[in-house]
Amino acid sequence: MDTLLVPPDAMQRRPGPLWLLAEVTYRCPLHCAFCYNPVDFAQAGPELSTDDWLKVIREARALGAAQFGISGGEPLVRDDIEILVREARQLGFYTNLITSGVGLTEARLAALKDAGLDHIQLSFQDATREANDLITNTRTFDLKRKVAAMTKAAGYPTVINCVLHRTNIDHLDRIIEMAAEIGAEYLELANTQYHGWAFLNRQALMPSAAQLAEAEAVTERWKARLGKKMRILFVTPDYQTKKPKKCMNGWGEVFLSVTPDGLALPCHTARMLPGLEFPDVRDHSIDWIWHESPLFNRFRGTAWLPATCQSCEDKDKDHGGCRCQAFMLTGDPGATDPVCPKSPDHALIDAALAEAEKPGGARPLVFRDPKNSTRLGRAF
C-alpha cells in the first residue's frame, strides 16, 4: 500500500549523498609535503562566498546528506566557519571540523560550540619546513597539546589523525605516547595516500617494508596496552597491501566534495582527472550535480570497468580501485588501479616499492606552498 504514495520516478532514483565535504579554502599556514591538495592549488579560482556555501549546505541536506565535514587547507583561516556550522547543524547535519588547530583560539572555539559544532578532528602535522619530524618540532606538539586541552574542556572528545610516512614512521612509538599524554580518545594512523603533493613527494615519503612492519608491531603493542582508553586505527597503505580501494565508498554513491572555488567532486582528489567537466555549484543545483551530471555518472557502478575488472569476482567490492591513482600512474583514469596485482600496470607499483627499499633515510621534500605551487603548475 505504501508504495502507492511514492511517485513513480522517485522509486527509481538512487539515494542522495550521505556526506558533504566542504573544502572551504586552499590557504594553509602549514606546508605538509604529504598534503593531498592539488599541487597547482595556487591557480584555483576565487573562494566561494558564505552565501554560496549556505546554498550548497541546504541543497545537500535536502537530498539526505547527514554528514558535514569542513576541511581545506586550514578551514579556520576563513572567518565564516561558525555561520556554516550553525546552518548545517540546524538542518540536522552532524558537523565535523577537520583542522590543524592553528587559529583555534578560546573565543573561536566557544563560537563554534555555540553554533552547534559536533566534532573536531585534529590533525597532527609534522612534516613542516622547520623540521621533518614530530620529535624535533616541539612547537607543533605544544600547540596540539594546548588545542586538545581546550577542546576537551569544551566537551569534545579528542580525535587525532596522524599521517605516517618514511620520515616519521620510525618515531611512531613516541607519536602514540604523545597522543596518549594529550588524552586522545581516538588516534587514526593513516599511511600516506599518494595524491597531490604526496604523489610529488612519493619517493621521499614511502616507507620500506621493514619500517611498515615495525610500525604495525608498535601499534599492536600500544593497542594492547591502552585498550578502550584510546582506540587506535591503523590505516594500511594500498601500495603495500596491494588491495585496491573504492573511491570514497564508490564514485557517486555516498560522498560529495566541493572545492574552495566551487567545483563539485565525487572524491576530494578527482579534480586532477582529465577529460571531465567539473560542475560549478554556483551554476548547478546539487540535485542535478548528483543525479544528472556527466561527472558523477562517469565512473558510477561497474558497467564502465575495463576488461581486467569486468571478469573479476571482486569488482563489486572495489569498483576497480582509485581513479586518481589509475590516472596518475598509467595516464588513463579508466584503467584498473595499478595497486591491484591483476592490473597490467602493476609493475609500476613494484618499482615504487623497490625504490623504497633502497637505503637512505632523508630524501628531498617539496613543501606545499603557493610559490612551489605556481612554479610547478601541475596537478600532481
Partner 1 sequence: MTENTARPAIHRLFRFQWEPAQQAHVLLYPEGMVKLNQSAGEILKRCDGARTVPEIVADLETAFNASGLAPEVEAFLEMADAQNWITWNTD
Interaction between residue 315 and ligand SF4 (CB under 6 A):
yes
Instruction: Identify which of residues 176 and 340 has a Cβ nearer to ligand SF4 in the complex.
Output: 340
> Other CB atoms closer than 10 Å to residue 227's CB: what's the count?
9
CA dihedral in degrees (246, 250, 254, 259; nearest 10)?
Answer: 80
Q: Give the integer Cα–Cα distance in Å for 27 and 58.
A: 25
Interaction between residue 94 and partner 1 (CB under 8 A):
yes
**250 binding partner (options partner 1, ligand SF4, none; Cβ < 5 to 8 Å by kind):** none
Interaction between residue 159 and partner 1 (CB under 8 A):
yes
Binding positions for partner 1, 59-78, rule CB under 8 A: 63-64, 66-67, 69
Span from 23-31, 61-69, 75-83, 346-354 in contact with ligand SF4 (CB under 6 A) = 23-31
Residue 289: CA count within 13 A, CB half-sphere: 25
Interaction between residue 19 and partner 1 (CB under 8 A):
yes
Instruction: Identify which of residues 125 and 257 has a Cβ nearer to ligand SF4 in the complex.
Output: 125
Interaction between residue 336 and ligand SF4 (CB under 6 A):
yes
Give the shortest CB-240-to-ligand SF4 separation in angstroms. 16
Interaction between residue 29 and partner 1 (CB under 8 A):
no
Q: What is the 3-state secondary structure (H, E, C) of 221-262?
A: HHHHHHHHHCEEEEECCHHHHCCCCCHHHCCCCCEEEECCCC
Instruction: Identify which of residues 96 and 167 has a Cβ nearer to partner 1 in the complex.
Output: 96
Q: Give the integer Cα–Cα distance in Å for 376 and 1.
A: 61
- In terms of Cα–Cα distance, which of 15, 12, 21 is closest to 248? 21
Q: Give the integer Cα–Cα distance in Å for 149 and 139.
A: 16
Q: Among 100, 219, 259, 325, which residue interacts with ligand SF4 (rule: CB under 6 A)?
A: 100
**321 binding partner (options ligand SF4, partner 1, none; Cβ < 5 to 8 Å by kind):** ligand SF4
Sort 330 into a burial class: Cβ within 10 Å, 0-12 / 13-18 / 19+.
Answer: middle
> Other CB atoms closer than 10 Å to residue 138's CB: what's the count?
11
Interaction between residue 308 and ligand SF4 (CB under 6 A):
yes
Cell numbers given for 283: 551554476
Cell numbers given for 181: 599524554
Give the shortest CB-146-to-ligand SF4 separation in angstroms. 17
Give the shortest CB-340-to-ligand SF4 separation in angstroms. 3
Interaction between residue 291 and partner 1 (CB under 8 A):
no
Interaction between residue 96 and partner 1 (CB under 8 A):
yes
Spatial contact of 165 and 34, defined as CB atoms under 8 Å apart = yes
**78 binding partner (options partner 1, ligand SF4, none; Cβ < 5 to 8 Å by kind):** none
> First CA to last CA across the chain, in angstroms?
54
Binding positions for ligand SF4, 36-75, rule CB under 6 A: 37, 72-74
**Contact positions toward ligand SF4, by CB under 6 A?**
28, 30-32, 35, 37, 72-74, 100, 125, 244, 308-309, 312, 314-315, 318, 320-321, 336-337, 340, 342, 368
